[in-house]
Amino acid sequence: MSLRRTLTTAERVLLQLRHDPRTIALMLLVPCVLETLLRLIYADHLVAFNLAGAPLLAFFPLTTVFLVTSIALLRERVSGTLERLLTSPLGRLELLAGYAISFGLLAAVQAVLVSALTLGPLGLKVRGPVPLVVLLAACVGLLGVGLGLLASAFARTEFQVVQFFPLVIMPQLLLCGLLVARQRMPAGLHAVSDALPLSYAVDGMHHLSRQVGTVAALWADIVIVLAFAAGALMLGAVTLRRRTE
């Protein structure tokens, strides 16, 4: 594994984004608009805003990074650049690490902005250490890279790949504990919820916002999210075959 080739690839992915300022603006601003909207909806219910606002901080990087990764990798597969890369010394894991670094960084920048707004002017109460909010969001970003990579393997067109969003992301949102606390779900659904990574990211945010449990429990959630991200990336690496039909 070459660090130089990995960083070169991360730089290339970021350069591609830099030529598309509108996408960057949308990725950074839309979550801010949504948190503001949530605050306005719950103008008279600060408790409710606290309950919903913190989990969403973990949800935004998943949606953003999932979408950009799945489309970016679909383009690599369809345009032939992936085939060219696989005939070069660049390894599959180096390519994926390049994507993980660049989009993980992007998730972190997004998290800094959205957390600054939400915890500052919007008045969301967080009792745990704030930098961990950003760390957790960046880890969810890595999960987005892994799931986006997997989705790109099962799509032939951009129309198809965006349809994986409701399939892969929406069930996680419904079952993550945002709408109904996970402990209050029927046993079957609770078990499904246990198998989905976003549940642990949202648990982590709950630990932070309500100081339920300890910082140790939060770290456990971060490790679980990272393990899911690593698993998705490894599965995704298998789908990057050098030899194709």
Partner 1 sequence: MTSAAVEFERLTVTRGGREVLHQVAGSFAAGRVTGLFGPSGSGKSTLIRAIAGVQASVQGTLRVLGEQPGSMKVRRALGYMTQAPSVYEDLTVAENVRYFAAIRGGELGAVLERVQLVDQSDQLVRNLSGGQRARVSLAAALVANPRLLLLDEPTVGLDPLLRRELWGLFGRLAAEGGALLVSSHVLDEARHCDEVILLREGTIVAQLSPAELAARTGTDDLDEAFIRLIEQT
Residue numbers at the binding site for partner 1 (CB under 8 A): 4-5, 8-9, 12, 15-16, 19-20, 79-81, 83-90, 241-245
Cβ-based nearer residue to partner 1, 106 or 196: 106
The least CB distance from residue 150 to partner 1, in Å, is 21
Cβ-based nearer residue to partner 1, 92 or 190: 92
The least CB distance from residue 21 to partner 1, in Å, is 12
Cβ-based nearer residue to partner 1, 8 or 157: 8
CA dist., res. 207 & res. 54, Å (int): 10
CA dist., res. 94 & res. 99, Å (int): 9
CA dist., res. 96 & res. 166, Å (int): 24
CB 239 within 8 A of CB 148: no
The least CB distance from residue 98 to partner 1, in Å, is 10
Q: Which three-class secondary structure state does DSSP give residue 42?
A: coil
Cβ-based nearer residue to partner 1, 94 or 221: 94
The least CB distance from residue 8 to partner 1, in Å, is 4
3-state secondary structure 144-205: HHHHHHHHHHCCCCHHHHHHHHHHHCHHHHHHCCCCCCHHHCCHHHHHHHHCCHHHHHHHHH
Cβ-based nearer residue to partner 1, 15 or 215: 15
Closest CA to 68 of 9, 23, 15: 23
The least CB distance from residue 29 to partner 1, in Å, is 20
CA dist., res. 240 & res. 213, Å (int): 40
